[in-house]
Structure 1
């Protein structure tokens, strides 16, 4: 191992944490790892990692400390136990959470003389460190610039600004869109099965339609940012009628319309408020204002 490379520490050895440690080991970085269940470190030790007995010991061993734990609450608990060791360290937290979770951890790091950078990983563990992986960061610009060469090992990196919560803001919004899409697919699959259509036969046609549809998202995005919902195409009233048809068909086939009903309710609210001629994108106002 090339010991001239900066030592790193990885706190947490779930799927992401193990992949982080493996990636740095492959690239020659001295890597110290810690996990509450020490047995998870054994395979990494066999590959050259050093197992720390405590989180504080791991933090002390790494100039760059990457944190990948279950949730922000666990991060707070673990780092609180290593508070004396974080002084002067660059903490890169890759644990999923909301924007305020990241900001709170950034404040904690500042209070303990550490630098904080938050990251949101877009990769499955096996693709980490390849061209298929990307990571958005926000928080300490100094850490991002100073540690850019190490961070780029994980995948294409993008710095979103000094607000530590910004990367999480993007992340939870992107994941909300992802789960909404997955929910729609599962609903479509259930409807197809109820009428004897194989889901493998449905999926290419669904993908083709979605591919044609996706450019409309950019149009909707401009309408939302400009708060101008004038349209001659996809109006709320038209979509209200379409959703009513789909939910009736779903229920008549013995398939729950649970994924569609919340959206239908929001559209109904907008039409009832007199916005039937406005773009479907205006539904975002019901999310934002609860009206």
Structure 2
């Protein structure tokens, strides 16, 4: 999916790329990118950042939620106000996290997946003591999950005394009631990703610290992915950043992009870690050189 243009591609099982441009009303190569592409239960969801557009919404900032039914092989879509950040499926409903661009409020839309109708919406409390604003964090839909029948929202502050101290809100999907709010760390925690894997909630920081929930009512497990001194020095000296994370067969695969040099001269590699011990298992160097600024990866089953 493109983050800038309405030009997207599907890779089929035969290795053939097919273009996809969303609903027919949007032309290809329009400045309508997407903020997330996320699989949840029986659907694949993605957003289309339409914004304020003279043809579709001249006065109100809007996004289009598009979703693909994997069983019936059908696409559906619905226009929604605000900027969409993530969607999860639960009980045949789509719960979509958004930010209102006018007043910086945060909320969740509830969409009937069969009719593409908005049923209701919840407001997320994102102002502590009415002063300090918190906003959803994480890449590619990591700011919202469904875990043990609860909506999980990840937020971080936008002021110097709250930034990099993210909180996790646990919300009842039936009524939008906030059941609890938990700080993810007593120290600085640069939230990168959250995923559900093997019935556990994994939360990863940019410096490779995991917070792992087996049960929301119990204290989480902490795990740090282990690095040798030479790898730590390499990451520091070459300005290594995480560019993608995937889970498979008891391992987590982390894609590193070392951004010190120009894109065509960069080192890029995938490191595999054991999810029980944090031990590094393998390193996969990426020999292909590219002049592209950003790089991602995915795992096929």
Scaled by the length of structure 1, the TM-score of the pair is 0.26
TM-score (norm 2): 0.25
Which of the pair is proportionally richer in helix? 1
Q: Which has the larger radius of gyration?
A: 1
The structure whose residues are more often strand, as a share, is 2
Relative contact order (alpha carbons < 8 A, sep ≥ 6): 1 or 2 greater? Answer: 1
